[in-house]
Structure 1
Amino acid sequence: MRMTTFLEQTSDPAQWRNSPGYDLGPSSEAGPAAAIGSVAEESASANLTGGNVAFIGAIQRNRRTALLTQVVEAEILPRLALARSAAASQSNATATPTTKDDTGELVRLLLGREPEGAVAFIDLLRRRGVTTASLYLGILTQAARLLGELWNDDRCDFTQVTISVGRLQQIVRALSPNFQVAAVNHPYPETVLLLPAPGEQHTFGLVILSEFFQREGWHVAGGPASTSADAADLVRDNWVDVAGFSIGSASRLEGLGGIIRTLRRVSRNRDISIMIGGPLFLLHPDLVARVGADVGARDAQSAVRQATSILALRTAAD
């Protein structure tokens, strides 16, 4: 199955077809570890006899060590440094925060008849000095959460919430080019698959999460419309480093645990890492162990840091 990029489910076709990393390509399916694996293949195919075995074996071990060191220095350590610097810069960027009243006003405009009001309000916040990262992690995420609460309390119907969340996604698309100006480019980007827990309706957080992973140089696949069957096919046919799930309702726990077990069983990458997040995880961090995940993340920034760190540890252990 061809790997669906996240942009296919959240952007206009002309935008995602021209985006970097639209197709995995053969060089990115196995990631940086492919170079190390090739050494083992060379060793297995070599015709070694007599006293040459120890000498050649030492050369191969030295070469493997050198390649591993090169991968860690060229790929892993720079990403950890970038993640730390991004976290520091974004924490400084919240010097002009939005307020609860701002969130309420944005939701009121999102629920209005015309979409221009919400867009104009976001432009006003930017002129006040609120950064794109702060908008992503703050008012836009909070607005999506408030819309979910209004729906759960029967103060909005499904159609109103769907239209309003769609408007939020349009705002993210408009902000994205500015946010991705500082995006990192890697010759062998890791791949993260982002999707909701089976049956989950709260999916806007995945859109924000995608923005941060793309900015740090990851190839982002999946999307809010991805299904469990899609996910199983994708990890079976493509190399996926991390699968991230969003969950907002306790009624989705059984399905989430089931798809996590399925992904581990069928994944082409036998060491695939599983991450969870979303409104329910924020209330119950112990869900990581209950559903069989590896790690949980409270927001998009911590998700990128967690994913980068876990891959660095696994690479160093190989």
Structure 2
Amino acid sequence: MSAAERQAERLESGVVTELAREVVRRLAEHPKRTQLTDHHATAAEVDTLVKALLSDRHAAASDMLAGLQADGLPLSEVYIGYISGAARRLGQLWDDNEIGFLQVTLATSRLTAIICALKKVFYDREGSPRRRALFAACPGESHVMGVSMAADLFRREGWEIDLEIGQDHDELLMAQHLGDYPVIGLSASSDAMILPMARFIRAARLLTPQALIYVAGEITHQHADIATTVGANGVLNDPVTALAQIASALERN
């Protein structure tokens, strides 16, 4: 096992355990909640959905929600009344030590898949989804010129790039959750950014598991194995070669 892989394992012990708790809370705090009709699902209905999410049958929860839609319940009410309620309930069960890490991770991944299927409820994008990316400075990062220049270059090549600078972990994670970006470029300049970067990448993996995540910035010159350390798909050494690198990865993906 390489030094980078050993460091990644050490990061896992401090990051992944907190991750499941964090994601279920993020799913329950959607910022457009007030814009959607609120269906007041009963506690018993929410508990039924939670049991389905934790059950041995993979499709139990999605089948339950599909049944509600077939009965005429609007998608927005399914999301707000049931899914947000289940996310909050999972958080409570986790806090009270009534379910373990593997259970909350399983339920969260299923809930995330359902949310992806309902994403048209809270946003709608036009155009090709493959030439979209989120470029961001790592939470806590103050060196932002490089990522800004990279965003400009990609835009000139026809990419739809959303640039996030100065966002904290929660804000950046919510941007990825709402945007469902197929590509993420995360810029960092120093060792102090390794833990925040690893924490964000692992959270983003749960929300958008198919996304290609790349590390850029001075950190890539300081640590040749930084992608392995933080769980990224690779590094971007410069904006020019990054265009071809990402395009090739999307084709393979």
Query: TM-score, normalised to structure 2's length?
Result: 0.48
Query: TM-score, normalised to structure 1's length?
Result: 0.39
Q: Greater Rg, structure 1 or structure 2? A: 1
